[in-house]
Amino acid sequence: MRILVVAEQDGTAVRLASRSALTFARSCAAATDGRVQWLMLGHQLDMPAADAAAFAPVLVADNPALLHPLADRFAHLIAAAVRHCQADLLVAAAGTWAKDIVTRAAGLLGGAMAGDVVAHEFHEGRFYLQRPMYAGAVLATVELCGAPQIITVQPSAYPPAEPGSTAAEITRLDVNEADLPQQMEYVGRVSQRTARPDVSDARVIVSGGRAVQSVEDFERLVGGLADSLGGATGSTRPLVDAGIAPSDSQVGQTGKIVAPDLYIALGLSGTVQHLAGMKSAKCVVAINRDPDAPVFTAADYGLVADIYETVPELIAKLGDPDGKARSRRS
């Protein structure tokens, strides 16, 4: 198999999620005696392309017209690169970037696409993929018909790839601006990101639900506990809808799918839609006033308590374990 992996980058390096997609691609290449290349699009890509080359050869489309991710032109170039390389498989990490752009590219390439893949298997010459449906209540085994095949993988299902021993080749692709679709225009972006880790790849996530009553409380309770554990903040849809938590923190069927080592659910009931986003966490802790909240059936550890009373206590105790900090200070 000739495999192209779309490399998302943050201006300096390849995103961790794309390295998870590379792990999937390397496994497919190993099973089919294939080879893997990155495909990176954007502008001023010298640093991220050099970072990517530590992992695999890189095809780079670098042009001022690609400064912002516009689906029509990005998909056009991705489809052209797939045809140019005669790639059999196009892989990307399943985030909103790829769901917008790579899915459109798949629409230009014949539509043999599976999204949100969490497992795969080559068996007797066939390529089986597993992906969740019905908010994760069902796991489907699917097969793609036709070529090329396009797959997005859930980054939480594959560990980020490690670099190779030597830097690989970087090849520049020609971008002819006049050929690019011009029907979309980038206006701007408002990011509500904080200094905390990104919820998509954090090892610890503290999530708040409906019990959190204000932006200030979210910051003090959910943010405070996240900070004492070096973690990220997550939230549920009702909390984002209410304007209490930022939209890019939403975990669930229609938000982010996460798989941290530790997921602490504060005052959230545990709807099917939310659980779909965090059921792969290694350890789940639930704190809720309602002992019958469904979240307890999805948790390893629980505490029936009001988060407004318990969380400040937890923050204090985590910040000052066994009173040791006080004795050091004195």
Beta partners for residue 120, in sequence order: 129
CB of 192 to other proteins, least distance (A): 6
Q: Which is nearer to other proteins, 226 or 299 (CB)?
A: 299
H/E element, 76: helix 71-85
CB of 309 to other proteins, least distance (A): 9
Q: Which is nearer to other proteins, 26 or 235 (CB)?
A: 235
327: left (phi over 0), alpha (psi -120 to 50) or beta: alpha
Return the sign of the alpha-carbon dihedral for residues 304, 310, 311, 316: negative
Phi, psi of 319 (to 5 degrees): -75, -20
CB of 25 to other proteins, least distance (A): 19
CB of 32 to other proteins, least distance (A): 19
Q: Using only C-alpha atoms, what is the Rg of the chain? A: 22
Q: Which is nearer to other proteins, 26 or 104 (CB)?
A: 104
Q: Which is nearer to other proteins, 155 or 223 (CB)?
A: 155
Q: Which is nearer to other proteins, 22 or 284 (CB)?
A: 284
Quote the CA–CA distance of 275 and 237 in Å, as a whole number. 12
Q: Environment class of residue 154 by beta-carbon count within 10 Å: exposed (0-12), middle (13-18) or buried (19+)? A: buried
CB of 67 to other proteins, least distance (A): 13
